[in-house]
Amino acid sequence: MVAILSAPNLPENCSAKASSWMRKNFFLILPDGIGHGKSSKPSDGLRAKFPKYAYLDMIEAQRRLLVEGLGIDHLRLIIGTSMGGMHTWLWGEQYPEFMDGLMPLASLPAQMSGRNRVWRKMIIDAITLDPEWRNGDYLSQPHGIRLAAEILFFMSNNPIQRQLNAPTWQKADQLLEESVTNFVARADANDTLYALRASEDYDPAPKLNSIRAPLVAINFEDDLINPPELKILETEIKKVKRGKAVLVRRSNATRGHGTHTLAAVWKKHLTRLLKQTQ
């Protein structure tokens, strides 16, 4: 999730000089959610004794950071990609007056189900059924983390781009090995396990009509995680009073689910939303 703070929403304790300068600018707030980045997570020491958390817990922690930590009670925009996109839907429901606009990318406003749940469960099983996992008290990263990396690599791009990048079996093996090696070098099995299980409470569908801010949801035609064939976004967006769904067509510029990291592909829609909500 990325929050954009605009001029009028400054903490009261700002100096006059700082306030004058800040009111001419926008500020991005990019929090590390619970279990991710530099935020608290199982690998910090508690391992499997780390408290269980879910997506609603993550956005509540973000809200407290803003309100109690930074003295901010309103945002210009909340935008998120993938898991952050899912959080954006929940933000709009839980705190409908908190923002001027919402832009969830690469996500669906429906509970975790179908193939989207299956690949997550495959990773969960790969870790927890590995004897090396030892109920979270492993001595070194269990082999299951490698299987997790392979599944994530498989789901993250589209078949056409994969074929272009790997026209031979040797090249395909090389790309896979490079991706897996990079993931395993920085990943932790318990962190990965907790992060995937956190999505089990995600189901924005019943409360979509409570979203009040203008919302533009962007998905990608070649996204294997949120395939347009399901028609979920087109159906559920009708429940959002000021909602709009955008499907970015497959092109040489798209990279499946990973297109959410390529702002050049979708920035025009962000620009329009910001102008609409000025």
Domain layout of the chain by residue ranges: 2-30+74-110+203-276, 115-197
Residue 2, pLDDT score: 67
The pLDDT of residue 21 is 45
Residues 154, 151: Cα–Cα separation, whole Å:
5
CB atoms near residue 97 (< 10 Å) = 9
Considering the four listed CATH numbers 1.10.3370.10, 2.40.10.120, 1.10.1740.110, 3.30.300.180, the one that applies to the domain covering 115-197 is 1.10.1740.110
pLDDT (0 to 100) of residue 106: 98
Predicted local confidence at residue 7, as pLDDT = 46
- Maximum CA extent, the chain: 63
Task: Report the pLDDT value the prediction gives residue 226, as an integer from 0 to 100.
Answer: 96
Tell me how crowded residue 36 is: count the other CB atoms within 10 A of its CB.
Answer: 16
Give pLDDT, residue 200.
Answer: 95
Coil, helix or strand at residue 4: strand
Report the pLDDT value the prediction gives residue 26, as an integer from 0 to 100: 81
CA distances from 131 to 16, 126, 138 (A): 60, 10, 9
Superfamily of domain 2-30+74-110+203-276: Alpha/Beta hydrolase fold, catalytic domain (3.40.50.1820)
Digit-by-digit pLDDT tens for the chain (278 residues) are 766 665 444 455 555 544 554 455 788 999 999 999 999 999 999 999 999 999 999 999 999 999 999 999 999 999 999 999 999 999 999 999 999 999 999 999 999 999 999 999 999 999 999 999 999 999 999 999 999 999 999 999 999 999 999 999 999 999 999 999 999 999 999 999 999 999 999 999 999 999 999 999 999 999 999 999 999 999 999 999 999 999 999 999 999 999 999 999 999 999 999 999 98
Strand (E) or helix (H) holding 117: helix 114-128
Q: What is the pTM of this model?
A: 0.90
In terms of Cα–Cα distance, which of 47, 274, 241, 255 is closest to 160? 255
256 near 158, Cβ under 8 Å?
A: yes
pLDDT of the residue at 12:
54
**Reduced to 3 states, what is the DSSP secondary structure of residue 157?**
coil
R_g of the chain computed on alpha carbons: 20
Helices and strands counted in the chain (H then E): 10, 6
Give CA–CA dist 133/169, Å, rounded. 31
